[in-house]
Amino acid sequence: MALMLTLVLSLLELGSGQWQVLGPYKPVGALVGEDTVFSCFLSPATNAEAMEVRFFKERFSTVVHLYKDGEDQKYLQVPAYRGRTVLVKDFMADGHVSLVLKNITLSDAGLYGCWFNSQTYDREAIWELKVSALGSTPVISVMGYGDGGIQLLCQSSGWFPKPTVKWKGPKGQVLSSGYKTNSDRNNLFNVETSFTIQENTGNVSCAIQLVEHSQAVESSVWIRESFFKPSSWRLPSILLGILCFGLFVGVTGMIVVYLSMSRGKISAELDWRRKHGTAEWREARKHAVEVTLDPDTAHPQLYVSDLKSVIFKEAPQDVSYTEKRFKRKCVVASQGFQTGQHYWEVDVGHNESWCLGVCQDNVHRWEEDLDLSPIRGYWVLRRREEHDYFTLDPHRVTVVPGIHPTRVGVFLDCERRIISFFSVNDQSLIYTMDYPLEGTLRPYILPQTYKENELTPIFIPSLSQE
């Protein structure tokens, strides 16, 4: 009965030349850090240029944006929205306005309204803004051997609301979905999940997803088959335990067997890398080229010396800003490659954090927060802290070098469209990735930018002189 009365009143108002305000017909979804748009319009279309238009949150007095007397009245905004709103007035003569709300935060979630007032008549529309936060790219760590397999740990932070987490096999099949979460002081959820691989499964992925979003944030780790091959140490260790000890010592012997198996599996993996990687590295090194850094591309806090060395310093240099210079704290080479085969080495020393590889010449150099992924035109190997080596291919792939390399070889094969990273220290292959896109690629370096007093320069040695 009430609904019928409302409809009748609306028809009477429209019949008398009045209008209604129509806003978003369903909740508006937005991600933390992004912008969103609220659109409201009058039906039937009515010129709103001389009207007062107010966007508010929860209460009429909480002004998000106010348009009055033909101007934006920014001084009446509540402080939380100052400098974050833009009213689009291009179609105001037709009664259509849009409000851009920038840099969404969790606290922006709630009910919003738009109110139109023609001095003789006013109406409003109400809708809900739902805010979500996509967390960090999952970090997969190999914890070791236990429970009859390889133990993996996946961690990510900064999610809202609570996400779902799944371990997936190489064909996308779900392996496990158990996980735990905790919230930080900003009410964002941190996620942690573990999984034990009992047999060879190739690529294993950790996928984290919000229910409202179809796209998952995913990382993967490649578990080579050799990890699961029986070690040649197994039988001698068992026989030694049985022959030399009694029951108690026999139990101790079984522990030795278990440790030997683990050590044998790791040794088998490293032996495979050395055997195959050394041959590839030697072949790649035949294509050594001279690479020099371009100071005009370096961030002001990166100091380039002799076109070969780069180091980060807190005090920025006084440099000219051009289209070539990166906003991210990185530098690229003067040389660019489109065809042929090219190999160079980068001496990273004992710095705990670095990133190197290649990037397309036309990457967005003034955008600092983009992921260094193939989707953005970057094919790079990264090290963060002591044991965290990874690349984006395009999802996060954790790699485990045999040793911590102090010199890394980069091989760009433009004919086969591949990029390989080598540990020069033990002449082993670290990882190979494809690049399907055409265009010029330039050597890329992002040095460590913290612990300044402990930093050492990263430099590109001249291989022709060695």
49 is in which domain, residue-wise?
18-132
Residue 22 maps to a domain:
yes
Residue 282 maps to a domain:
no
Alpha-carbon distances of 214 from 32, 81, 134, 265, 352, rounded to whole Å: 17, 30, 12, 38, 36
Amino acid at 262: S
For residue 44, whether the previous peptide bond is cis, meaning omega lies within 30 degrees of 0, is: yes
pLDDT of residue 455: 81
At 223, phi and psi to the nearest 5? -100, 110
Residues 101 and 157 in one domain: no
Mean pLDDT of 128-140: 90
Please report which confidence band the pLDDT of residue 388 belongs to, taking 50, 70 and 90 as the band edges.
confident
Q: What pTM was computed for the model? A: 0.49
Residues 400 and 252 in one domain: no
Please report which confidence band the pLDDT of residue 42 belongs to, taking 50, 70 and 90 as the band edges.
very high
Residues 440 and 309 in one domain: yes
Measured from the Cβ of residue 198, the count of other Cβ atoms closer than 10 Å reads 10
pLDDT of residue 242: 41
Write the pLDDT tens digit of every residue in 142-159.
887 776 788 889 999 889
Residues 320 and 460 in one domain: yes
Q: Is the pLDDT of residue 232 over 50?
A: no
Question: What percent of the chain clears pLDDT 70, i.e. is strictly above it?
Answer: 82
Q: Is the pLDDT of residue 10 over 50?
A: no
Please report which confidence band the pLDDT of residue 277 belongs to, taking 50, 70 and 90 as the band edges.
low
Mean pLDDT of 365-385: 85
Amino acid at 53: V
Residues 299 and 420 in one domain: yes
Residue 228 maps to a domain:
no
pLDDT of residue 2: 40
pLDDT of residue 198: 76
Q: Is the pLDDT of residue 260 over 60?
A: no
Write the pLDDT tens digit of every residue in 427-459.
889 999 988 877 899 999 999 888 766 788 899
CATH number of the domain enclosing 301: 2.60.120.920
- Do 257 and 240 meet the contact criterion of CB atoms below 8 Å apart? no
- Name the strands in the sheet holding 418-423, side by side, starting at the edge strand that comes first in the sequence: 302-305, 309-312, 458-459, 341-347, 407-413, 418-423, 428-434
Write the pLDDT tens digit of every residue in 191-227.
999 988 877 667 888 999 988 777 678 888 877 655 5
pLDDT of residue 221: 83
Please report which confidence band the pLDDT of residue 464 belongs to, taking 50, 70 and 90 as the band edges.
low
Residues 174 and 315 in one domain: no
pLDDT of residue 13: 45
Of 107, 132, 157, the last residue of a domain is: 132
Q: What is d(CA 31, CA 190) in angstroms, rounded to the nearest whole number?
A: 17
Mean pLDDT of 165-186: 85
Write the pLDDT tens digit of every residue in 89-116.
989 999 999 999 999 999 999 999 999 9
pLDDT of residue 229: 53
Residue 2 maps to a domain:
no
Least confident stretch, 38-52, 308-322, 347-361, 394-408: 394-408
Residues 179 and 294 in one domain: no
Residues 314 and 372 in one domain: yes
Please report which confidence band the pLDDT of residue 278 belongs to, taking 50, 70 and 90 as the band edges.
confident
pLDDT of residue 359: 94
Helices (H) and strands (E) in the chain, counts: 3, 31
Mean pLDDT of 242-251: 41
Q: What is d(CA 289, CA 283) in angstroms, rounded to the nearest whole number?
A: 14
Residues 45 and 111 in one domain: yes
Residue 329 maps to a domain:
yes
- The three-point CA angle 66-68-71 to 5° equals 90
The token duo for 128 is: 């809900």
- Do 27 and 130 meet the contact criterion of CB atoms below 8 Å apart? yes
Residue count of the chain, please give it: 466
Mean pLDDT of 113-124: 94
Residues 373 and 416 in one domain: yes
Residue 418 maps to a domain:
yes
Q: Is the pLDDT of residue 234 over 50?
A: no
Q: What is d(CA 121, CA 52) in angstroms, rounded to the nearest whole number?
A: 11
pLDDT of residue 251: 40
The token duo for 338 is: 């489109």
Residues 362 and 451 in one domain: yes
Q: What is the DSSP-derived secondary structure letter of residue 446?
A: E
The token duo for 258 is: 């278990």
Q: Is the pLDDT of residue 228 over 50?
A: yes
Residue 53 maps to a domain:
yes
3 state SS of 259 = helix
Q: Is the pLDDT of residue 49 over 90?
A: yes
The token duo for 378 is: 């970057």
Residue 117 maps to a domain:
yes
Number of structural domains (the chain) is 4
- Tokens 């738009």 correspond to 114
- 101 in the Ramachandran plot: left (φ > 0), alpha (ψ -120 to 50) or beta? beta
Q: Is the pLDDT of residue 300 over 50?
A: yes
For residue 161, whether the previous peptide bond is cis, meaning omega lies within 30 degrees of 0, is: yes
Least confident stretch, 82-91, 249-258, 427-436: 249-258
Q: Is the pLDDT of residue 11 over 50?
A: no
Mean pLDDT of 240-264: 41
CATH number of the domain enclosing 214: 2.60.40.10
pLDDT of residue 122: 94
- 182 in the Ramachandran plot: left (φ > 0), alpha (ψ -120 to 50) or beta? beta
Residues 448 and 355 in one domain: yes
pLDDT of residue 111: 96
Least confident stretch, 151-165, 166-180, 318-332: 166-180
- Tokens 């974050």 correspond to 84
Query: What mean pLDDT value characterizes the chain?
Result: 82
